[in-house]
Amino acid sequence: MEQTNYRFLGKSDLHLTPVGLGCWQFSKQNNLAGKFWPTLDDDLIRSIVNISLEGGINWFDTAEVYGNGVSEKALSKSLTTLGKKPGDVLIATKWWPMFRFASNIPKTIGERIEALSPFPIDLYQVHQPYGLSNEKAEMKAMAELVKSGKIRYIGVSNFSAAKMKNAWETLDKLGIPLVSNQVRYSLLDRRIESNGILQTAKELGISIIAYSPLAQGLVTGKFHEHPEMIKTIGYRKHSSFFKPSALEKSRPLIMLIKELAKKYQVTTSQVALNWMIHFHGETVFVIPGATKESHALENPGAMNFRMTDEDMERLDRESRVFQV
């Protein structure tokens, strides 16, 4: 089937595929955030990026805190080696606010630009709402970067509905859109549907970028079939999602996902991602990661089919228990 059409991110002219590639796993264990994933060598990173591109993905999401710039550099190196030029792909990255004031935003933008060189920053996001300045001060600093041409658009990440709206209002007064809020969202974590984030985003024309859209691999069912694997997955094993009681709670949903994967002749991951990019119209984008070439092959495939409304509603009903 033909690939799902590109979509605009929020009220921007960024024309993105509904599936992008999350690049946290390119951190090479360089700092605390980087230790969440195994070290991937340059050849594997380049291959993952290339497979993603060949599958039709046209954008990548990274961040300063992913290895203190290591992920950004690995991404730009891979794209350059693959012969990509500025404008061929779109890049999103993030400023880390913890223990910093908004004044740090213009001070460190040069480091982000250098790390991603020669590729421009199409979307620059405030990574967390926990900085030493409030979101209004941060948005004013980000707006200056737009005005000076250092970045194209502004997003936030992990912002509550109230903080997202404050950020939107601050930028709106300056004639600049807040285009996205990147949050944790999956069939196994639908809290943004009950805490106001999704509804507020829809009302304001802000896109949702869903990270951890596969619930750290849980939606695939592999940990339900082989719970002994949980011991081998590093920091993730401490998540409440991996407790025996949580696995039992999610088992009926996993069984339905497997049933639908068989029906559509796709993988369980692709069923989960397909539901996310279609159930709420064009509001939700997803950024699954990939530590293996097989993952990179799977991700874009989520855009190449569409489940029936009835099947999407079945997934909705079975996963509503995860809205709180």
Q: Which residues are catalytic?
A: 66
| Cα pseudo-dihedral 214, 216, 222, 223, rounded to 10 | -140
Instruction: Report the C-alpha gap between 171 and 157 in whole angstroms.
Output: 16
Partners of 155 in the beta sheet? 125, 180
CB 166 within 8 A of CB 135: yes
Cβ atoms within 10 Å of 17's Cβ, excluding its own: 23
